[in-house]
Amino acid sequence: MALDLAFELMMLLTGGCALLVSAWLFWRARRRRSMKALAGFGIMMALWCSGHVSVFYGWERLGKMLILANPLMPTFFLDFAIGFVNQGAGHRPWLDHLARRRGLFYLAALLVLVVSLAMGGGDIIAFGPFSHYFVFSGAGWFNIAYTIGIGVLAHALLLWGWRVHRGNRRRSIAAMFAAGAWGLWLATSFIFPSLGLYWYPWPMLLLPSYVVLLVYGVVRYQMLEVNAWANRALLWILMTALVMGLIALLSSMAAQFGMQALANVPKWQLWLYSMLLLMLALVLYQPVSKLVERLIYPGSRLNERLLDTWLNRLAEARHWNELSAAAEQLLVRQMGQPVRVLLLLDGDRPSHTEEIEGPCVLCRHQHLGWQSRLQGFEDVTPGLRLAAEVFASLLTTRCSLLERSLQLAEAERKRLSEQHLVELGGLSAAMAHELRNPLNIISMASAGLEPERKVMIQTQLKRADRLISDMLAYSGNIGVQRQSIPLKAMLESLRPQFDWQHTRFECALPEHTRICADAYRLQQVLVNLIDNALAFVRNRPDGVIRIENGARPGVVLVHNNGPEVAQDMLDHLFRPFVGKRSGGSGLGLSIVRRIMDAHGGRIRHRSDLGWPVTFELFFPEDSSC
């Protein structure tokens, strides 16, 4: 192929690529001015290439005008750079001011074009394989200097944006710089003849790649769908290079194998035919693949619109039953026959899944996450089975999202419940303090009454005071100051304050038993547990309360032979207001649990130690004791 013809073809190809890219940008970025400016840059690149083709065919006046219009190219790029950088972290008032004055840059570029044309900014010469080639002269050097200056300004603005931006926008700017360096190297060869260096502009043959790489570097991180097109284009380029290499090898060896006719065909024709065949294959790939898919999977009818419909419908479900019903409805509509969908959470067992008639989709939650399995699809066509497999994959993803959503909702519910309890605790504390004032007045007023009435009133006042004390203990903040406490001595000191009424109290603790705890809080724990036990064993002929050490240090066991705790109470035994003994506040065991939690210990109910009721206390060891 003649070198001048190769140059002409590359200019046409560059202009065609620039126009296609610009049209795509206008279509995809209707409301983004910066992308429209980038599309304008592509249009000017196409016009600039058209100027070289015009010169090649002898249309010198038109060619000079289009080539000398090159200041508009960096002006459009500067407009794009202002809009691209002036967003997010890069937004600045001075950039807003610059954006409002962008029209002045276009006016200046047009003025440079008019001056260059009026003063003869270029000539047409013949050198090497070219009979017509444009070179700068006179005012044309001012034209090229202005073009370079605007280009430098645009890239300086991008460099500033690279410093202030992060993430994909910064990556886009880096890609633009790489494409700019590539374009500068390609364009340099175009100016050599203007400097008296009559070298063939070989790098200009790669000019089609510049505009494509520049636009791809910008939109790659802004419009993700363009990456699919880039993947196909790169595949086509690699296949083209491979085929061209194979054809060159075959052409050189054809004569040795007796294929003289093939050896006489020019290589450029073979390459051209190969490229046309590859382009035809690229165009036909999508419809042919759809046809093959319909032949292999008849009835599948899978497309992006259907997948979006499935995803949106599944996303509307807020509960497991609703998700299962929505999934069954979608599958029945797609397959045209009844389909079961079973969602199995942890611990769930499929009930008689082997006896289910017809297709069934099983989604089970396992330790690695949600997994799906198709059952009963043996007689289903391959196309419908493929659709079911795709749907099951989407359903497992939606199950994971719904599970996470429900967990977050439950956590929020618990947080609000805890907040409500805190507010209720503060209100209870305030009410308890206010109630003590009238109780004190009643106690003083009863001092002059006859003994029987005085005893009755004082008894009820003590009960009310106990209720108030329990409410304050439960709702208040529990602080602990640990110290080593002789447990047996404390129990002996508490013994006189209880009304035992024939109940036998056994303290089986060794004299040296010591507990690391807050003395006041430990006393509250023992008083509440003993008082709670007395309520059930008092006045029984064989009533026994026994306290002894556990199997490990820090463990104390409080036994009583009262009635066993009902099974329905075991799960919420330590919650407030669940006690069933008369005269109690319902807060005793709840207070004990709060005190044990404050110590970093625990309390639990046991019935496997030979006693109907046992409370096991565990106090952790502390080096400060």
- What is the secondary structure of 132-188 as a DSSP string? EEEEE-THHHHHHHHHHHHHHHHHHHHHHHHHH--THHHHHHHHHHHHHHHHHHHHH
**What would the pLDDT profile of 466-507 be if each residue is shown by its tens digit?**
667 666 666 666 778 889 999 999 999 988 888 888 899 999
Its sign, for the CA torsion 218, 223, 226, 228, is: positive
Residues in the chain: 625
Q: Quick one: how far is CA 512 from the chain centroid?
A: 59
Residues sharing a CB contact under 8 Å with residue 566, sequence separation 6 or more, in sequence order: none
> Largest Cα–Cα distance of the chain, in whole Å?
139
CATH code, residues 479-618: 3.30.565.10
pLDDT beyond 90 at 157: yes
Among 19-33, 169-183, 328-342, which stretch is predicted with the lowest mean pLDDT? 19-33
Read off the pLDDT of each residue in 362-379 and give the average, rounded to a whole number.
Answer: 84
pLDDT beyond 90 at 622: no
Q: Which two tokens stand for residue 257?
A: 């194998």
Residues sharing a CB contact under 8 Å with residue 562, sequence separation 6 or more, in sequence order: 533, 536, 537, 540, 543, 612, 613
Percentage of the chain lying above the pLDDT 90 cut: 28
Residue that wins the pLDDT comparison between 15 and 269: 15
Taking alpha carbons only, the member of 429, 425, 478, 473 closest to residue 601 is: 478
Quote the CA–CA distance of 613 and 607 in Å, as a whole number.
Answer: 6
pLDDT beyond 60 at 300: no
Per-residue model confidence (pLDDT) at position 12: 92
Output the CA–CA distances (angstroms, integers) from residue 544 to 493, 559, 583, in the order listed. Answer: 19, 8, 21
Q: Where are the domains of the chain?
A: 3-223, 225-293, 304-413, 479-618
Taking alpha carbons only, the member of 572, 568, 566 closest to residue 593 is: 572
Output the CA–CA distances (angstroms, integers) from residue 592 to 21, 526, 576, in the order listed. Answer: 75, 9, 11
Quote the CA–CA distance of 179 and 154 in Å, as a whole number.
Answer: 14
434 burial level (CB within 10 Å; 0-12, 13-18, 19+):
exposed
Quote the CA–CA distance of 177 and 301 in Å, as a whole number.
Answer: 44
**What would the pLDDT profile of 405-423 be if each residue is shown by its tens digit?**
888 888 888 787 667 666 6
Residue 234 · residue 227 · CB < 8 Å = no
Quote the CA–CA distance of 147 and 109 in Å, as a whole number.
Answer: 8
Q: Residue 563, SS3? A: coil
Radius of gyration over every alpha carbon of the chain, rounded to an integer in angstroms: 44
pLDDT beyond 60 at 353: no
**What would the pLDDT profile of 499-528 be if each residue is shown by its tens digit?**
888 899 999 999 888 999 999 889 889 988
Residue 134 · residue 55 · CB < 8 Å = yes
Q: Quick one: how far is CA 441 from the chain centroid?
A: 63
Domain 3-223 annotated CATH 1.20.1070.10: yes
Residue 505 · residue 545 · CB < 8 Å = yes
Quote the CA–CA distance of 562 and 209 in Å, as a whole number.
Answer: 91
CA atoms within 13 A on the CB side of 121: 25
Task: Name the one residue in this structure whose structure tokens are 């005793």.
Answer: 588
Quote the CA–CA distance of 380 and 186 in Å, as a whole number.
Answer: 59
Question: Reading across the β-sheet that carries 340-344, which strands appear in turn?
Answer: 340-344, 360-366, 369-375
DSSP letter at 366? E
Query: What does residue 314 show for φ and ψ, rounded to 5 degrees?
Result: -65, -35
Residue 43 · residue 22 · CB < 8 Å = yes
Residue that wins the pLDDT comparison between 78 and 227: 78
Quote the CA–CA distance of 598 and 521 in Å, as a whole number.
Answer: 10
Query: What does residue 561 show for φ and ψ, rounded to 5 degrees?
Result: -100, 35
Per-residue model confidence (pLDDT) at position 297: 57
Residue type for position 458: Q
**What would the pLDDT profile of 187-221 be if each residue is shown by its tens digit?**
888 899 999 899 988 888 888 888 778 877 777 66
Q: Residue 293 — very low, low, confident or very high, per pLDDT cuts 50/70/90? A: low
pLDDT beyond 70 at 443: yes
Q: Is 104 left (phi over 0), alpha (psi -120 to 50) or beta?
A: alpha
Per-residue model confidence (pLDDT) at position 107: 96
Task: Name the one residue in this structure whose structure tokens are 């640990």.
Answer: 482
Residue 485 · residue 522 · CB < 8 Å = yes
- Computed over every residue of the chain, the mean pLDDT equals 83
Other CB atoms within 10 Å distance of the CB of residue 372: 19
Quote the CA–CA distance of 520 and 292 in Å, as a whole number.
Answer: 83
pLDDT beyond 50 at 352: no
Taking alpha carbons only, the member of 71, 73, 54 closest to residue 62 is: 54
Quote the CA–CA distance of 217 and 252 in Å, as a whole number.
Answer: 39
